Amino acid sequence: MASQRSSLRLAACLLNISEARKKDIVERVAKAALCDKQGERKMQATVLNIFSDYDYNRSVLTLAGPVETLGTSVLAACIEAFTLIDMKDHIGIHPCLGAVDLVPFYPLSESVSLEECGRVAHDVAEKLMFDEPDCSLFYFGYADQTLKRTLVQRRKELNWFNRSSSEVKERKPDVGTAVTPRCGLTGIGASPYVMNCNVTIDTQDVNIGQRIASAIRGANVGGLQGIQAMAFPHEGTVEIACNVESFKDEPFSPPKEESKKYITYCIQGEEYQYFSPSSIEKHIKRLAKDLGVATVGTALVGFTPENCKRLAEQAIREGIGEFWKKRKALTM
């Protein structure tokens, strides 16, 4: 067993699709990553988790498997999503442009490189154009060859936050001739692992949430390195949705009280680190308290990179493709 674990070269894809209100569609996309059209298992891949949010009308599927074959599973899931989801009918409060909105690949095993994940992303994009010619894609990170622009940069360039029909038609994809109303625009790329950590504050005042999101954003003075944040109304409260980016362990000067709250892991011998979810929650709790509100909950969308790797090894070792079902049963 140990030799099988050590020989696996694992990567993950946190597939973001613009559907959360129709459970059957979300699960059909997940199963497409695991089975052929006859319903037979086809790959070592596993779906570790499905996180669906009704208000956002967005689901994040955590797919993992050997980097050599993961692209085939992700490709099948994307094709199924494009078949089942029509962006013309989509309603949700989370910004999005595509039926398949985001296809990010991340190394899990230390031996898997960012460049290799970038090549997998590029290969999936090229094959998608043959199987789903109406889709349009943009590259980011290590799939954005030569430039390696980040997802944040690409979204700003493409005005990702504005989904008006006239604006969508004007966007110029990297792959595909024009953005169609049904499929929309999809981002595909590779980077060090990015987690999603959502903290809920007990207020309906979105302005308070926006102030907190701005204060923790890594690009702003006093913010938390590696954090991208937005605030949304959510189930009668406000949710601070954080993308938690991993970055190289280079010299930096975080606030003194935060300096020991980064978690470190390796990609091909190089150290990367990220702000821990618990410290993000504590930081937001302090900011919220200063503004007269309390936090009422935190949700980690998926896993930390270490847990994602550990669970992927377990699922593949035990041959469990629909791991999200087993995990759900264990936590109920």
Q: Which helix (H) or strand (E) holds 194?
A: strand 194-201
* 176 & 313 share domain: yes
DSSP letter for 52, please. Answer: E
* 136 & 119 share domain: yes
* 201 & 181 share domain: no
pLDDT at 162: 72
pLDDT at 164: 62
**CATH code, 143:** 3.30.990.10
- pLDDT tens for 247-284 read 986 655 555 555 568 899 999 999 999 999 999 999 99
Percent of the chain clearing pLDDT 90 (strictly above): 79
- 288-327 in b/e form (b: 16+ CB < 10 A) is beeeebebeebebbbbbbeebbebbbebbeeebbbbbeeb
- Quick one: average pLDDT of 313-320? 94
* 208 & 70 share domain: no
* 52 & 157 share domain: yes
**CATH code, 201:** 3.30.70.670
* 221 & 314 share domain: no
In this prediction, residue 171 has a pLDDT band, given cuts at 50, 70 and 90, of confident
* 145 & 8 share domain: yes
3-class SS at 94?
coil
Q: Specify the residue for token string 């680190």.
A: 273
3-class SS at 170?
helix
pTM above 0.85, yes or no: yes
* 112 & 198 share domain: no
Distance of CA 58 to the CA centre of its chain: 11
In this prediction, residue 331 has a pLDDT band, given cuts at 50, 70 and 90, of very low
Structural domain range at position 237: 194-301
* 66 & 183 share domain: yes
Please give the Cα distance from 61 to 49 (Å, whole number).
Answer: 6
pLDDT at 160: 83
Q: How many domains does the chain have?
A: 2
* 132 & 279 share domain: no
Residue 329 has pLDDT above 80, yes or no: no
Residue 1 has pLDDT above 50, yes or no: no
- pLDDT tens for 81-101 read 999 999 999 999 999 999 999
pLDDT at 51: 95
- Quick one: average pLDDT of 134-142? 97
Q: Specify the residue for token string 């030799």.
A: 3
- pLDDT tens for 192-241 read 999 999 999 999 999 999 999 999 999 999 999 999 999 999 999 999 99
| Contact of 303 with 48, CB cutoff 8 Å | yes
* 29 & 134 share domain: yes
* 42 & 110 share domain: yes
Please give the Cα distance from 103 to 211 (Å, whole number).
Answer: 29
